[in-house]
């Protein structure tokens, strides 16, 4: 026991001796570097001797520089147009911060950061064409943060996590705090489907909770503006204001040429492909008097549940019931028209006029939805379209299309088929016209004209006529739809 103690003491003494020698050696090195005379710095109150802290220098090394590549956004899109940068070189970004907005032929996409760091390089100017898979920005990541190099992955629209993090489809920058984004991710909610009520469209926590309370995706219509207070009986009427003077138009005399981009470029491609299809046209008129009365009875009940009920859900449901009897109208053909594919789902598109141009979002699986559920989905698509936030999932996968051109005006139209679909219908405005009833009496009737176009390579006139007659029968006698509803 004493030997072990003596040996341990000897080892401990040697360690102390080595540490003392090392300290003395370092002090000698510092003494050699120390100047013979104290350094003085000229300043307002006289010279001061620099302390030893001035000789301690350090370098802060940044983290690795990551090339943030533009991921594949699906639908075979290989290039996009950079519409707006939300950052500049030297800006610090965090995860989920918006970097830029790009626009493809299908929709607008906001690209968000995957890393915490500093923007070191922007590879494209505004309105430049960015290529999928190529670097978009260089981000110098934090040296303390763990960086994982990720390969670009093609995400389908069903991948909700990707839509919440790196690519949120929208026409303008979605504003939400990290806490709100985290709440949306935890509840599997797409921010592109939530209408923000905060300043400049910012999505608040209350908006997420309201969305969760509905559990159906229904978007409540905005509250009506309060009516101005009525003037008191004895108050004199205000003098009428003079009409405002509008400035005279100034003729600049300059022609403007700009390239086609975004949705306009997509329309060029689609309509050029549509010209190769031999169109067959068919028109008819429909008496909607009973449907008008039915909608009038159901409108109040739908609004009480937070949904605006239009005629389109009835038109779509009647078309879906007709497609069950004529599935060839819900089909598509390959490019060489050698094979035909009958689609199981009735994904009926609705042409929508928006600030970005003509958009055709579609409602998935109409054959499985009720009229009320169709109205809910249309409300959602209309709200997203008005905000410019329609995503590629809403704009792709259509199998049949209805164009409600009558909501703007007109009675008849010549709709153009959207490839690879094979049929489309255009609905005119509803007019009150005199018609003869079954007893030969002249009555008021709500008349709507419908114009159909079909791919005459696979659809003959008789098939289109029979489908139109069945669709017309459902709408003129809405009670008959009850027998076939599922």
Q: Which two tokens stand for residue 239?
A: 């003098």
Cα torsion at 225, 210, 301, 296 (round to 10°)?
Answer: 50
Paired residues of 450 in beta bridges: 284, 427
Cα 455 to Cα 422: distance, rounded to the nearest angstrom: 5
Q: Which two tokens stand for residue 224?
A: 């009506």
CA 434 to chain centre: 45
Q: Is residue 460 among the annotated active site residues?
A: yes
Paired residues of 282 in beta bridges: 452
Does residue 424 contact residue 416 with C-beta atoms inside 8 Å? yes
Given the residues 264, 279, 446, 456, the one annotated as active site: 456
From 150, 358, 348, select the one nearest 268 (Cα to Cα). Answer: 358
Cα 225 to Cα 372: distance, rounded to the nearest angstrom: 26
Helix axes 312-325, 371-386, angle to 10 degrees: 120
What secondary structure letter does DSSP report for 324?
A: H
What secondary structure letter does DSSP report for 53?
A: G
Cα 426 to Cα 402: distance, rounded to the nearest angstrom: 6
Residues 6+ apart with CB under 8 A from 448: 285, 286, 288, 406, 427, 428, 429, 430, 431
Report the DSSP pairing between strands 400-403 and 348-350.
Answer: parallel
At 15 the three-state DSSP class reads: helix
Omega prior to 420 cis, within 30 of 0: yes
Question: In Å, what is the CA distance from 304 to each residue of 292, 307, 372, 449, 462?
Answer: 19, 7, 12, 31, 43
Mind telling me the catalytic residues?
456, 460
């Amino acid at each position: 026991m004493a030997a072990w103690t003596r040996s341990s003491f000897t080892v401990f003494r040697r360690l102390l001796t080595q540490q003392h020698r090392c300290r003395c050696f370092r002090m000698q090195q510092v003494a050699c570097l120390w100047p013979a005379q104290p350094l003085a710095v000229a300043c307002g109150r006289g010279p001061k001797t620099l302390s030893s802290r001035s000789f301690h220098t350090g370098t802060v090394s940044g983290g690795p520089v990551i090339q943030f590549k533009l991921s594949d956004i699906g639908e075979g899109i290989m290039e996009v147009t950079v519409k707006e940068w939300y950052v500049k070189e030297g800006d610090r970004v965090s995860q989920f911060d918006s970097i830029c907005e790009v626009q493809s032929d299908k929709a607008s996409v906001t690209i968000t950061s995957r890393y915490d760091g500093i923007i070191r390089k922007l590879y494209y100017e505004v309105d430049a064409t960015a290529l999928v898979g190529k670097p978009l920005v260089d981000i110098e990541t934090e040296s303390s943060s763990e960086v994982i190099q990720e390969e670009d992955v093609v995400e389908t629209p069903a991948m909700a996590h990707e839509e919440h993090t790196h690519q949120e489809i929208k026409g303008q920058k979605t504003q939400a705090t990290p806490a709100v984004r985290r709440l949306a991710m935890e509840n599997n909610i797409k921010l592109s489907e939530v209408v923000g009520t905060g300043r400049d469209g910012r999505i608040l926590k209350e908006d997420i909770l309201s969305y969760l309370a509905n559990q159906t995706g229904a978007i409540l219509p905005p509250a009506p503006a309060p009516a101005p207070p009525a003037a008191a009986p004895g108050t004199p009427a205000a003098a009428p204001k003079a009409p405002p003077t509008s400035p005279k138009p100034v003729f600049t005399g300059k022609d403007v040429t700009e390239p086609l981009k975004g949705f306009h470029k997509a329309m060029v491609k689609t309509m050029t492909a549509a010209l190769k299809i031999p169109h067959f046209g068919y028109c008819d008129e429909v008496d909607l008097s009973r449907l008008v009365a039915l909608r009038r009875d159901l409108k109040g009940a739908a609004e009480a549940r937070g949904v605006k009920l239009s005629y389109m859900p009835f038109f779509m449901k009647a078309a879906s019931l007709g497609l069950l009897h004529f599935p060839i109208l819900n089909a598509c053909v390959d490019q060489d028209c050698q094979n035909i594919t009958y689609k199981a789902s009735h994904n009926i598109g609705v042409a929508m006029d928006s600030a970005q141009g003509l958009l055709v979002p579609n409602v998935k699986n109409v054959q499985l939805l009720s009229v009320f559920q169709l109205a809910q989905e249309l409300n959602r698509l209309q709200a997203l379209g008005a905000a410019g936030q329609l995503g590629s999932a809403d704009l792709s996968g259509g199998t049949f299309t209805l164009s409600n051109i009558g909501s703007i005006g007109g009675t008849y139209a010549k709709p153009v088929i959207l490839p690879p679909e094979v049929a489309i219908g255009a609905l005119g405005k509803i007019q009150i016209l005199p018609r003869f009833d079954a007893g030969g009496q002249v009555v008021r009737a709500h008349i709507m004209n419908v114009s159909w176009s079909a791919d005459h390579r696979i659809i003959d006139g008789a098939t289109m006529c029979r489908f139109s007659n069945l669709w017309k029968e459902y709408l003129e006698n809405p009670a008959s739809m009850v027998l076939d509803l599922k």
